[in-house]
Structure 1
């Protein structure tokens, strides 16, 4: 991610900076429009005028990403995650964990939480800036309204992944926003070819968003005989383009670890790092070094790479017409700035891509 300076912000992005410092606001737009960048700037602007602001990121990896990409903007912020903020808030106010409805502690009893806050007269002067807000439950936004919390939400309902998710209209209703969402329309990340492929998986929602003008290479589908063959190709690609960041996005952490091991054997250990949130040896990434980064599909939201490789296309066996499958591929495609490569080893190209027009994908057999 390249964080633009204040002077480099476009007019539609500057409008986010100019939003009132109080109230509840919703920002939406296409992937690559800079919603995450503007969330950081919005939180920074609020902090500079003395607001008690917390910037929500979707995951610990995205937290690391923002802290490293924009240290001057984030060093004075409370950058946290949704679950961490809820638990810290509840423990400060009630001296106990928030009421939950599952044994793992990830689902909350929102009705009981709202009742407790109303009965105890609990309010908050915080301003929450929420990135990837479509992935938070509607009930959380209702709780924010109950608490009197000011909120700025950046959301794109075409990037919803997960069971507990919200549409932009649901977020607006829950927060009782007074104005229509502020829309960022220009895709500043993807090449035109990548954006065209991604649009094949996009849900029909709202106004059509213009395609980028910057042109690049057509995404590819590779039929490969083995994982070793594919990773040898990745190695050759890296040697030819050492200035580019490469993202290898895996469906499973098992494959993630296997690929890191194989790249090490190919002599790329000092250029490669992997992230798995539950692995103490792989729970941090330094985005200033080691340009080959291996992440899971569960951790890819909010990230971007010059080139993206999807090594396990065969693992995507869901019904290709399902909303979840299409949204997952929409997000997957839009992680890439310049190049996008899918690979499969099975005899048939997986159904999720088989219906894509030939003009949008170049197909190769290894």
Structure 2
């Protein structure tokens, strides 16, 4: 019985078609599954570039182009177009097999043939070539075939290369784009996710190529599966992988492993696929965890896109790290009485007054969290010898003794009151799990790993037995937005030799990404394992308009402009749910919300679970973490709000901590700006943020 596969690009095209035509296409393809291909008028296409192309009738005006198998039963739908356009598509485009990756490729062969003579003429009049530093052997090894190789040799600059993207095979474009961005052939090979083989793939075996092209081809398993996929056409980018990502997902690791990469490179997608793979292969429970509840909602939705198997879903537990700690704690002790933020500050203040200490409440609280808790210090002698890396204020022996006395008093007061903080709940949960032989999980996947504290990492380590594929970590320290620093080695998680990096941004245009990266220019950012991290090589192959930056005389003018811009986006065809607005302070977000509401624009605050999901979302920069929007406005980026004064330690109190706080505030702004896919607006009133000054 014939099976139907669908080329990935078609799902993107489907979203642009009218609803009645989408229904017709769905009906036709269900018939294909329910009956045979003879029942849907499959016809040979005269003069087609590929002799295996056939057409299928959608309705009186539309036709689909299908690749028929040479020997097997899998038919691949490539596109659906008006009758004449479909036949022209088949006559101009060819489908081939990439010798390096073994996957299928579609190219606009006619345009390539037409462009080559003109490009050759231009190249002969130019002294430089874009790929002159790469030899033919390396290009061939990367999958550049005998048709594209002479074309590549004519390309003189980046603009010319970008113009060819619509006509080149996608994988070959990726390889050339990597070389054009400055990567070596070896680095590009690594990005392709393929392995060097003694013999290249058979480029004549299309059936085998279709079977192994999981990154491009969706094999539909019956009408129900087809309908489920059609219900989420816009979300397909989340569930189909580039070969680099697929290689990370499929690798079997002997212990903890990590994937890093800049914003939009698909780390979360890889993490979700990894969790799905582990749950499919194992009978043990898999935990997917992260720092905030907002992100767990997004992760839960992503997992549901990957599978409709109740058994697999039951094996995947998704919850943020604090919830896990509280769950373990409650199972043993019942619900804890939590110390409120104001109560904590009051408690530190009373200790300072009683002991007549020369420290502030903020300094002692940070010392407790970042030194005592982070290093599991439990005695004065341990504190005297503890590393205080990142704690800029130097302390002599007498001062350390004073600090330890304050910490001891604070912990004693918590015990006397039977009160807990999230940190002490996590510490107790870690102790309870460490004592258990039967761990609650067989595998743990951590997303946005850079924001977990050392104690939270110890909780992760204690919740899963050491072994193959025990912990998988996805994160980017350039997107750290909370005051957590950690060395994975120090908390018992060793990833040396099991780390991968993703460089290709799938979300943000090159213009938005390049502008945003300048916010972090010159910053020395750690890699969570004792070294410095680098975002060099992170790139986007999608181009668009540069970000818009705009200054206003007053905040009211700024908010009005933002509201009118949102209205214009919607009138141009952008769905309200594809628009996000980020502010550093909640009160400014509420002011923007009011301005949108008065213009009858559906809007809701991100922290509010109520309201239409078709609304424009307004939230703090922190709350935007892990989300993305077609159009993004980052509002109130002035000197008073970014950096936020309350989030930065004064330089005269602790210079090193001040610098770390400033770096974190830069990262917060960087995260907010890189939520944008196509359009980014950054506004401020009065004086701009010092982070913006070099960019405006």
The two structures have a TM-score, normalised by structure 1, of 0.82
In our comparison, the structure showing a higher alpha carbon Rg is: 2
1:194 is aligned to 2:512: yes
- Select which of 617, 621, 643 maps to 1:297: 621
Checking the alignment, whether the CA contact within 8 Å between 1:263 and 1:272 is kept in structure 2 is yes
Per the alignment, do residues 74 and 198 of structure 1 end up closer, same or farther by CA in structure 2, a change over 3 Å counting? farther
110 and 345 in structure 1: CA distance in 2 versus 1, 3 angstrom threshold: closer
- d(CA) in 2 for partners of 1:70, 1:111: 29
Hey, what does 1:220 align to over in structure 2? 548
Aligned pairs for 1:52-63 within 5 A: 52-63=285-296
1:345 and 2:685 matched? yes
2:280 to 44, 48, 52: 48
* Shift in Å, 1:21: 7.2
Q: Could you tell me which residue of structure 1 aligns to residue 592 of structure 2?
A: 259
Which position in structure 1 is the counterpart of 2:199? none
Aligned-pair CA distance for 1:296: 1.4
Report the Cα offset of residue 176 of structure 1.
Answer: 2.2
For residues 73 and 254 of structure 1, the distance between their equivalents in structure 2, rounded to whole angstroms, comes to 38
In structure 2, do the counterparts of structure 1 residues 33 and 349 end up closer, same or farther at CA, with 3 Å as the change threshold?
same
After TM superposition, the structure 1 = structure 2 runs for residues 10-49 of structure 1, keeping only pairs within 5 Å, are 10-20=242-252, 23-49=255-281
C-alpha contact 1:122 1:147 (8 A) present in aligned 2: no
Check the 8 A contact 1:67/1:74 in 2, yes or no: no
Q: C-alpha offsets along residues 49-99 of structure 1, whole Å, 9 cap, x if unaligned?
A: 22301211332222333334552337713221111111113333x344689
Aligned residue for 1:197, secondary structure, equals helix
Are the equivalent residues in 2 in contact too, given 1:64–1:284 (CA < 8 A)?
no
1:334-353 superposed Cα distances (whole Å, 9 cap, x missing partner): 1111111111121x333220
Q: Which runs of 5+ in 2 are unaligned?
A: 1-233, 339-410, 525-532, 649-657
1:134 equivalenced with 2:450 (yes/no): yes
Paired position in structure 1 for 2:92: none
On the 8 A contact 1:275/1:284 being kept in 2, the answer is no
Helix, strand or coil at the partner of 2:295: helix
Q: Is contact 2:604–2:617 with CA below 8 Å preserved after alignment?
A: yes
- What is residue 20 of structure 2 aligned with on the other side? none
Distance of 2:474 and 2:452 partners within structure 1: 11
TM-score, structure 2 normalization: 0.45
SS in 2 for 1:306: strand
Aligned length: 342
Query: Structure 1 unaligned runs (5+)?
Result: 277-281, 359-366
Q: Deviations over 1:146-188 (max 9, x none)?
A: 454421111111111111243xxx2255312353312112111
Shift of 1:122: 6.5
Q: 2:261–2:538: 8 Å Cα contact kept in structure 1?
A: no
Indicate whether 1:206 and 2:523 are aligned: no
- State the partner residue of 1:154: 474
1:4 deviates by 3.2
Structure-2 residue corresponding to 1:325: 665
Give me the CA root mean square deviation: 3.0
Match of 1:316 in 2: 642
Cα deviations across residues 276-309 of structure 1 (Å, max 9, x unaligned)?
2xxxxx235765x23x211211211111111110
Q: 1:272 to 1:68 in 2, by over 3 A?
A: farther
Question: Partners of 2:300 and 2:611 in 1: how far apart?
Answer: 11
